[in-house]
Structure 1
């Protein structure tokens, strides 16, 4: 039988790294260390939107798999059906749980990029207002 524990541990580790990177990015934006040109930010947000759409499709498919497969009314069939159902829709490292966590990281990243763009526009507006006052 295939042991997927190393794969599951790898998925958890990778999601933890992505979440930590996202927290660092959010901190840099909130502290004013990072602002993002709206044009570049929109390109990033478009890419994130495409990725979120793809993850939404994966989630729909995983949810469709999260049911007991009709593998027969016997101990082996029951055990395998339960195993497949858990891998698709159970907690922890199931497909659904992993895709949901990944989707949240993507959404958090999109929100942070949007905030970085807003901060860039705010600085640009303040700078423009300062120049207008100096020109008067």
Structure 2
């Protein structure tokens, strides 16, 4: 699910960068602010994620030690870890932010181009 969301965010960004869409900068400011707020929150969670990677005290037996090791890997490791999920979410926020900024910059170009084509017709 996360990868498809990232693909969608990247597709939006690429369409904006390639001039396929534009967004009125005044109308997009609220969205951009929310994206940046979410991005800042995810960055803060990533910065503190390392503190979760402390092994719980489950006893000095093989099962307890195996579960404690697995807990640490899930908190700060690869694959399905908390950190990995946050990094994926941060990538989505970054792509969305870049897309909105690009679409905002394209808006005036597209508006002027449309006006020129109407005036020539």
Global fold match (TM > 0.5): yes
Provide the residue aligned with 2:60 in structure 1: 73
1:37 paired with 2:24, answer yes
RMSD: 2.4
Q: 1: distance between equivalents of 2:67 and 2:84?
A: 20
**Structure 1 residue ranges, 4+ long, deviating more than 4 angstroms after superposition:** none
What is the DSSP-based 3-state SS (H/G/I as helix, E as strand, rest coil) of the residue aligned with 1:102? helix
> 5+ residue gaps in structure 1?
1-13, 132-136
Aligned to 1:111: 98
The correspondence of residues 1-136 of structure 1 with structure 2, limited to 5 A, is 14-123=1-110, 127=112
Does the residue aligned with 1:16 lie in a helix, a strand or coil? helix
Count of aligned residue pairs for this structure pair = 116
- Higher RCO by CA contacts (8 Å cutoff, separation 6 or greater): 2
1: CA distance between counterparts of 2:56 and 2:27?
46
* TM-score (normalizing by structure 2): 0.81
Q: Distance in 1 between matches of 2:16 and 2:90?
A: 21
User: How far has the Cα of 1:61 moved from its partner?
Assistant: 4.1
Structure 2: unaligned runs, 5 residues or longer: 117-121
Give the 3-state SS of the residue equivalent to 1:33 in structure 2.
coil
